Structure 1
Amino acid sequence: MGLKANGCDFRKFVNYEDSDDLYLYEVGRNKCTPLYSYEHLVKNRIIIHIIKKGKGILRINNKQYDIHKDQIFLIPENYRCFYQADKDDPWEYIWFIIGGPKIPLMLKEAGLTPEHPVYTPVSDSRVITELALDTLKNYKRQYYCIGNLYRICDYMIENSSRKEEITVSNSLRYVKNAISYIQLKYSEPVKIEQVASALGLNRSYLTRLFKDATGYSLQEYLLTYRMKMAVKLLSDKSLSVAEIAKNVGYNDTFTFSKAFKRHYGKAPSDYRSVEIKVSTGTITNV
């Protein structure tokens, strides 16, 4: 049964971060009352709203956009936004709070950016709506939900009204290649200079491109990815912390443990001592 809160018809906090590129934190649906409004300033997250019915307005970057059924609007991270349902035909929408290093790139390929925060499909918009509703219905299934989000992004890219205006620039290709390089080499003692060198770029130039495109610095992304892989390995009780440190690119356990504790607030051994059972919502010491 759906959770009703703050005017929402359905809202679930899921916090799905197992995927390397795309994270899902919250899903919801709201059938708004006339002139229902909300103001956002979201940190380190992105929100997309899929308009199922009705219409309303979005204000961002000192601009106002009239938005209607079948469109999608973006609430970018670190931008103050205001949106409001129409007085006579208030909208009903589905929203996803998402994140991850590649999600800004995927949305940009679809033409959805802070400068262009409204998406209009050129083909049957029911595909996106049906995928979104299916995600709400199956919100307990992490990989199913993430798969649906990839399908939504793919459909948006292939059916964007701005597709002809958009070309994937060399800078975006460099960023994608940098992500792929890190995901391939994270288990080695790789340095940022090596990433830039492998792509034939100056370090400072690549660092700027990466930060602008993803919101992460290269060093932050490398650290975050290593920590994420370390958490997965900690579930394997046959591996020692020293072995895990080497498997994620650290030559000594102390440096790894220090970085892990700074990232998660717990030492690796302490983190391992708690098993979180998402299916039951219980925490069991093991």
Structure 2
Amino acid sequence: MLEYLPRSKQHTELHLTQFGMEDCISGHYFGPAVRTHYLLHYIFKGEGIFEVGGVRHHLRKGQGFLICPHIVTYYQADEVNPWSYGWVGFNGTLAEPLLMQAGLTPSSPILHYDRDDMIYQYLQLMAQSRQSHKARETRLTGLLYLMLSLLVESGPETPTVQRESRAEVYVEQVIDFIEMNFSQKITIEDIAHLIGLNRSYLCSLFKQQMNISIQDYLIRYRMDMAAKMLGNTDLSIGDIARSVGYTDPLLFSKMFKKVKGASPKHYRSATALT
């Protein structure tokens, strides 16, 4: 079973280019050759060899190999116990980062997954997706994400963040949380709890890195978003206040004027004239 897929215009971050399964005959081989996309093979039974960069790997059930774009590789089924495998070809801007999370790189192309038969099941579901019409591409992309998630979950632990960059990581988490939740009623305690740090310690780290308190950063971010919304005259001041986390329009107007130097009404009028 082999199926090639057209280039995806919708899922540019990650998309399938082909997938299939095969019971290989004795000695079946491919290469030496290169591919223009990522190609991931997973062995269901049997054994064989995979060669890349002058290194030969003897592989069997529960293992697999990654072929990276533009790298010469060769693989061959065993003469006595030829392998059966499945494969997915894919590309996209997220392909390399996800593979790296799974510990798969050009210098480390061998995968190990023997927890269950989920990879086989996902390949079967890919084949069954032919029954879908309007949503097939989205379904296939979802199955590819699920398959890669198995490899990421079972892959090697990522290196611990170096001590000197730990503060930067926490600050980035605070900023991400604010950007995703500024429209909600959130507190500094909520942010500290999510990140897993003492409130005072987190506030101190953030102030040291950003030269602004978390509370002031949250207010400024909300007012920046409100200022953008004021350009939409279909939104009332009350609509905008609620959209940036304020249930009281008067309090919102007071905070907006404090940060932007003008009331929301006057800011909207001034913006309309420019």
Relative to the length of structure 1, the TM-score reads 0.52
Cα pair 2:20 2:123 within 8 Å, conserved: no
Candidates 44, 49, 74, aligned match of 1:52: 44
Aligned to 2:238: none
Candidates 7, 14, 19, aligned match of 1:27: 19
**Cα 1:14/1:93, change in 2 over 3 Å:** farther
Displacement of 1:96: 1.4
- Residues 1:143 and 2:143 aligned together: no
**Cα 1:17/1:75, change in 2 over 3 Å:** farther
Q: What secondary structure does 2:143 align onto?
A: helix
Distance 1:37 1:21 in 2: 31
Displacement of 1:122: 5.5
Cα-to-partner distance string for 1:134-182 (whole Å, 9 max, x where unaligned): 112215611111001111111111112xx13x338799x99xx9xxxxx
How many positions carry a matched residue from both structures? 164
Aligned to 1:42: 35
Q: Please, which runs of 5 or more residues in structure 1 have no aligned partner?
A: 1-8, 178-286
Cα pair 1:17 1:23 within 8 Å, conserved: no
Cα pair 2:40 2:87 within 8 Å, conserved: yes
Displacement of 1:10: 3.0
Cα-to-partner distance string for 1:161-211 (whole Å, 9 max, x where unaligned): xx13x338799x99xx9xxxxxxxxxxxxxxxxxxxxxxxxxxxxxxxxxx
Percent identity over the alignment is 25
Relative to the length of structure 2, the TM-score reads 0.54
What CA RMSD, in Å, does the superposition of the two structures yield over aligned residues?
A: 2.8
Bigger-Rg structure (1/2): 2
**Cα 1:122/1:89, change in 2 over 3 Å:** closer
What amino acid does structure 2 have at the position aligned with 1:41? V
What amino acid does structure 1 have at the position aligned with 2:30? Y
**Cα 1:122/1:52, change in 2 over 3 Å:** closer
Q: What secondary structure does 1:15 align onto?
A: coil
Candidates 120, 126, 129, aligned match of 1:129: 120
Displacement of 1:107: 0.7
**Cα 1:110/1:34, change in 2 over 3 Å:** same
Q: What secondary structure does 2:149 align onto?
A: helix
- Residues 1:16 and 2:16 aligned together: no
Cα pair 2:46 2:82 within 8 Å, conserved: yes
**Cα 1:30/1:17, change in 2 over 3 Å:** farther
Distance 1:148 1:132 in 2: 8
- Residues 1:101 and 2:93 aligned together: yes
Aligned to 2:265: none
Distance 1:26 1:120 in 2: 22
Distance 1:89 1:35 in 2: 9
Cα-to-partner distance string for 1:205-253 (whole Å, 9 max, x where unaligned): xxxxxxxxxxxxxxxxxxxxxxxxxxxxxxxxxxxxxxxxxxxxxxxxx
Structure 2 counterparts to residues 241-256 of structure 1, below 5 A: none
